Amino acid sequence: MRSPYSYPQRVIAHRGGGVLAPENTLAGLRLAHARGFGAVEFDVMLTGDAVPILMHDDTLERTTSGRGQVGTARAADLARLDAGSWRDERFAGEPVPGFGAAAALCVELGLWANVEIKPWAPGGVAVAERTGTLVASASAIAFSPARVLLSSFSPEALRAARVACRLDIACLFDALPANWREQVGAVDAVAVHCNAARLSKAEAAAIKAQGLGLMCWTVNDPEVAQRLFDMGVDAVCTDRLDLLSPA
């Protein structure tokens, strides 16, 4: 059995700054650091011209001043959008960051990063594989191996990432599937990340029995976090950086 994967903190900042800053932005990463968080999670998707950027949705409307599909847009055009005003006017003009800028900021601030590989869904398997390859390759250049963990819901993206690099990988699941062990083994994953609301005590025990790290998302209640820790969960990802301590 492998040595259990170790997270740098028990509480990880979701999408950078959670609800206290616009998600997947440099402002969010700075806010997490200012609040004492040493570990952050964010999403990386490819633009239409294959540039990795921080973005969660397939479309631009919810978190930017733009409209349309991320996977058909050019990175230069996305860089001119406002990705901050939707959260608060204090963040007006905050740009859509490229992955390179976000990774460099993490290194500068000493932040450990869970990089979620987020393929643009309409692109299907081909885009998922390309996203896994490019994000993994860029991560291997930007981070030292101990300071980054790649994760994804997409088996295709994770398999491509494993071919591209030897960085640590986590399998992301909403509900734990019956074949989770096979999926973990296929990419030599060191951890499993699950929806906190759908993980049972027995499932947590089974994951830990395999020597895997276990993180749950998205946990915004300290009592829920403690219950999960008592079940053997190693870390939780939170939007409420004001309610859960990074310690």
Active site residues: 14, 56
- What number of other Cβ atoms are within 10 A of residue 210's Cβ? 16
What are the contacts of 61-70 at 24+ separation with CB within 8 A?
62/86, 63/22, 63/23, 63/24, 64/96, 69/120, 69/122, 70/45, 70/120
Q: 102-124 as b/e, with b when 16 or more CB fall inside 10 Å? A: bbebbeeeebbbbbbbbbbeebe
Q: Which of 162, 137, 127 is nearest to 47 (CA)?
A: 127
